[in-house]
Structure 1
Amino acid sequence: MDERIKKVLVSLQGRCARREYCCSEMRQKALKALDGDAAAAQEVLDSLVADGYVDDVRYAGAFAREKAVLDGWGPVKIRYALRGKGIDSSAIDEALASIDGDAASEKLGKLLAAKAKSLEGDPQAKLKLIKYALSRGYNYEDIKL
């Protein structure tokens, strides 16, 4: 491994120590730092994965918990976002299984209650609440008005 690759590797290890990243994000950062050298970027990524700095399963779990608890996202939206980041389906399923279903239902209830206050007197309030919940990534069956 030449000096330039080692420098990029150390830099990316520092980033990974501060927060979780998925493989596709680290691949993009390595490609940018190495001016598009795909072979060197793959070497850096392989080293990060081997050393445990990057793990898609761990990233998917952290991402799913954060989005469900803090941002109020539903499982559909979380699955779509993780697929967009190139995470495999088994890791996504495992991450979604780790989310507390009762807490997600409670969060949905709070979101809908807050939205309902802003829609008081609107004749299409029920329709708008359903659309809102669907846009947040919840299944139609989970929406209880």
Structure 2
Amino acid sequence: MKIISLKKKSNDIVITLEDLSTLKIDYRTFVDHRIHKDVDITDELLKLLSEESSFFKCKDAAFRFLSRRLHSTGELKLKLIKKNFSKETIEKVLTELKQKKYLNDEEFTFQYVKEKLKKGKAGIHKIENELRSKGIDKSIIDKIISQIDENNYQKNILELIKKKLDQIKNKETDKRKIKSKIISYLLSKGYDYELIFNSLKDFDLEQED
């Protein structure tokens, strides 16, 4: 079928065929294939142009997401699905991004854990759950979690206990209730009960008879 017109629209080229059907392709696809007016174009080539154009668009969208922050493969995939790209196109884009080191789940996990420990002082259980929800493989999670500095982790929980204690000690005098509130708070932050229990020994929260 013959091309009867080509019109540039933003970063795209709109191809109109002699049956008046149209196809919008990315400008880079247009240049790569040297498309021009009055040439015959096969159905196979039309399909190829559409697929290559979608690949460029999908990769552009991926880079926009990655320019804002690091992403796991899983969460980037979900965002691209919401942009209505085909699964085949998304997989091709993700494969290229991983090959070129723009996408690295291990690096993402390392930075994510570092940030959560430093700013949020989150516990390991909460961090693990969040990483699983982002599609990170268990082997990667286990590897990065095993690298956490135990002294800094212990320091975090002690700081959280002190902060929480300062918040409630003037409102509550019953040590058992204070202790219970602190335990509930730390469990919600993702800390292990045994670690919480041992850390609370550094504070005078035992009820006097």
Letter in 1 for 2:144: A
Which of 92, 105, 130 pairs up with 1:43? 92
- Matched with 1:3 is 53
Name the TM-score, length of structure 2 as normaliser: 0.64
Shift of 1:17: 4.5
Partner SS, residue 70 of structure 1: helix
Structure 2 residue runs without a partner (length 5+): 1-50, 201-209
Shift of 1:122: 3.7
- Matched with 2:28 is none
The answer to which structure has the higher strand fraction is 2
| Count of residue pairs the alignment pairs up | 144
Shift of 1:18: 4.5
Runs of 4 or more, structure 1, over 4 Å off, are none
Which of 13, 27, 42 pairs up with 2:63? 13
Tell me, yes or no, if the aligned pair for 1:13 and 1:48 is still in contact at 8 Å: no
1:84-103 correspondence to structure 2 within 5 Å: 84-103=133-152
Letter in 2 for 1:141: E
Distance 1:19 1:140 in 2: 33
The answer to which structure has the higher helix fraction is 1
Letter in 1 for 2:135: G
Quick one: percent identity of the two aligned structures? 28
* Residue 54 in structure 1 maps to residue 103 in structure 2: yes
Structure 1 residue runs without a partner (length 5+): none
Q: For residues 77-115 of structure 1, give each alpha carbon's deviation from its aligned partner in whole angstroms, at most 9, with x where no partner exists.
A: 111111111111110011112222211111111111010
Name the TM-score, length of structure 1 as normaliser: 0.90
Distance 2:85 2:68 in 1: 25
